[in-house]
A and B are shown apart, each in its own frame.
Chain A
């Protein structure tokens, strides 16, 4: 973690206080996003991927709250930033595409309005409505929308899933952000459209020179598109490093298990073994390794709080066996 990171998350804790208890959705996350890179964030459902990056944008809603940690971006701690400054930064410096484009786009407003309002919010009225509209058309054409002028007046439900995703990407990129957070951009799409959308994000990243955080369930997708990868488990990052190195020689037992549970193109006959056991309940977690109940290497040394430890060139892992 020595390079000057674009975004550095340190010790982030985002908890949800519910009637059943405190859900520690994000519980001590350390993460860097380097300038211009694509970082893959992988983890099972509920591991805290979305909660982590909503925290970055200051968009965690009650009963959720950032309890601790720093979110350093452009020399400032976003966790301490006044609301107005954070709003000015959202959409302009850090943009997000949400998990489900159908619910993230407002059903009662035309997509044109939803794109134009973003452009106009950040250029301080320099561009009039007509200029902002022209810009929206140009952006839609850029993301591969046919007949962009006509489609500006359409509502979200009139688009296909893939086209809705493109609209959301258009909105996110409309102010040329330095960082794009793409939260599972392809989960809702068919395979061919998935590749188109991921290619679009990769192309835009090159054109704008921005960093991308690609959140995904799918280690295969991340292997193809991301320079580095971070694996999340039960609200913590358990391993991170250059994608190729991590996949070739995973250091954390969770990563190892995850890779064994995936089919390999190179060796289709290899038996697939799912990780035994279940994801822990995020309420009342004990102060010990989160993966302990499912780990084949469980030992007494794992029964206290484990931190991310350096594990080779640019690599980190949250496992006592690294230090040994």
Chain B
């Protein structure tokens, strides 16, 4: 794709985001439940206090005015105050973002390694027990709800075996100075190796839970793409040249098989973001996903709107990424 094509795609983001803004705004605004009541809870507040809070939050203004304010905020990247935290939304989100990025990246790595690895193996050993086993596992992996699988893992590894922590990102004693916000990186930067392994142990179960469905999907895609590649004339010709089996598998077949796999992976990473909300809630992971879930329950309009817009931007960028990767891997598209 030419640089101009990339710019064009980025410009297409504008109407997409506008559309999403409208949907998000009205979905939140029209959902029953009053943020003021939810915030005050049982507290015996006077009508005056209620009124003043409503005014502070801008909720006393008419809907269309609130929408215009929201649009102006969105355009400048400012989303006002989070109702619940009484701090700027942007600050609250940026604090939670690294935890989600770390979890998503870990899940992505697991999905890529396991999915592509098993997919290649299943294709090479077609119809063997390993092929059947991974096919069944993949089927289970795609169809099992993430929260349920997560709870099973907690029961087995954390409760029964006591081998891994139940929730959180790191133990209290493992705190390290903020550098990137990714604990696996920050602990290494601070040379605290015990903390690094602690963070890794906390990360393992949620990352596996989050990555499972994607690993299963990638396994299926890789397997069928490998089988297709291995049946091509160019593989027969490569064999006729007398080059090694490993080269044929990993250079000739896999290079072609990765074209669909990587494209699917880039798009599916967006789905991982959605999965975060469930997994972070199950594992008490202090990330953006859990923040949004809490925000929905407390009708924290500014927070949810900002987060959903952020998700939308990331999702569209991932799609762009998928197209770029496709073009990079596929010489026929590139020229």
Binding site for B on A (CB under 8 A): 54, 57, 59, 61, 87-92, 95-96, 98, 100, 103-109, 117-118, 121-122, 155, 157-158, 168, 171
Q: Is B87 on the interface with A (CB-CB < 8 A)?
A: no
- Asked if A91 and B252 make an inter-chain contact with CB atoms under 8 angstroms apart, the answer reads no
Beta-carbon nearest neighbor of A121 in chain B? B243
Chain A residues positioned under 8 Å from B331 (CB to CB): 107-108, 155, 157
Contact check, A91 vs B243: say whether CB atoms are below 8 A apart. yes
Contacts of A95 in B (CB 8 A): 240-241
Query: B256's closest neighbor in chain A, by CB?
Result: A108
- Name A103's closest neighbour in chain B (CB-CB): B233
A100–B232 alpha-carbon span in the complex (Å): 12
19 other contacts beyond A109-B255, A117-B243, with CB at 8 A cut-off? A87-B239, A87-B244, A87-B245, A95-B240, A98-B240, A106-B238, A106-B252, A107-B256, A108-B255, A108-B259, A109-B252, A117-B247, A117-B251, A118-B242, A118-B243, A121-B244, A121-B247, A157-B335, A158-B335
A59 touches B332 (CB 8 A): no
A288 to chain B, nearest CB (A): 34
Report if A103-B234 is in contact (Cβ < 8 Å); known contacts: A108-B256, A117-B247, A158-B335.
Answer: yes
Say whether B271 faces chain A, with CB atoms less than 8 Å apart: no
C-alpha spacing A268/B331, complex, angstroms: 48
Question: Given the known A-B contacts A106-B256, A108-B331, are A90 and B233 also in contact in the complex, defined by CB atoms under 8 Å?
Answer: no
> Are A90 and B240 within 8 A (Cβ)?
yes
Best-surrounded residue of B231, B239, B252 (most CB of chain A within 10 A): B239
B242 A107 Cβ-Cβ under 8 A? no
Cα separation A57 to B232 with both chains bound (whole Å): 17
CB-based nearest B residue for A89: B242
Question: With a CB–CB cut-off of 8 A, which chain A residues contact B233?
Answer: 98, 100, 103-104
Which single residue of chain A is at the shortest CB-CB distance from B332?
Answer: A157
Contact assessment for B236 and A92 in the assembled complex, using a CB-CB cutoff below 8 Å: no
Between B234, B237, B332, the greatest number of chain A beta carbons within 10 A of the residue's beta carbon is seen for: B237
In chain B, residues 251-290, which have Cβ atoms closer than 8 Å to a Cβ of chain A?
251-252, 255-256, 259
CB–CB A104/B236 < 8 A: yes
| Known contacts A91-B242, A121-B244, A122-B242; A98 and B236 CB within 8 A of each other | yes
Chain A residues whose C-beta falls within 8 Å of the C-beta of B251 in the assembled complex: 109, 117
Determine if B237 and A98 form an interchain contact, defined as CB atoms under 8 angstroms apart: yes
What B residues does A155 contact at CB under 8 A?
A: 331-332, 335
Q: How far is the CB of B4 from chain A (nearest CB, A)?
A: 22
Contact of B234 with A91 in the complex, beta carbons under 8 Å: no
Q: Which residues of A contact B332 (CB under 8 A)?
A: 107, 155, 157
Residue of A nearest to B236 (CB): A59
How far, in angstroms, from A121 to B240 measured CA to CA in the complex?
A: 12
B330 at the A interface (CB under 8 A): yes
B236 CB to nearest chain A CB (Å)? 6
**Contact yes or no, B335 A121, CB < 8 A:** no
Which chain A residue lies CB-closest to B235? A106
Q: Is B329 located at the chain interface by the 8 A CB criterion? A: yes
Pick from B243, B247, B329: contact of A108, CB below 8 A: B329
- With a CB–CB cut-off of 8 A, which chain A residues contact B232? 103
Please, which residues of chain B bring their CB within 8 A of the CB of A118? Answer: 241-243
* B315-335 interface (Cβ within 8 A of A): 329-332, 335
How distant is B43 from chain A, measured CB to nearest CB, in Å?
65
CB distance from A103 to the nearest CB of B (A): 4
Chain A nearest CB from B245 CB (Å) reads: 8
Cβ-defined partner of B240 (8 Å) among A91, A105, A109: A91
Q: Which residue of B lies closest to A102 (CB)?
A: B233
For A103, A108, A121, A171, the residue with the greatest tally of chain B CB atoms inside 10 Å of its CB is: A108
List the 9 closest A-B pairs by CB distance, nearest first.
A91-B242, A90-B242, A103-B233, A155-B331, A104-B237, A91-B241, A106-B234, A121-B243, A118-B241
CA distance A107 to B233 in the complex (A): 11
**Shortest distance from the beta carbon of B213 to any chain A beta carbon, whole Å:** 28
Q: How far is the CA of A59 from the CA of B251 in the complex (A)?
A: 19
Identity of the chain B residue whose Cβ is nearest the Cβ of A54 in the assembled complex = B236
The smallest beta-carbon distance between A295 and chain B, in angstroms, is 35
Contacts of A117 in B (CB 8 A): 241, 243, 247, 251
Taking each of B231, B239, B242, which has the highest tally of chain A beta carbons within 10 Å of its own beta carbon?
Answer: B242
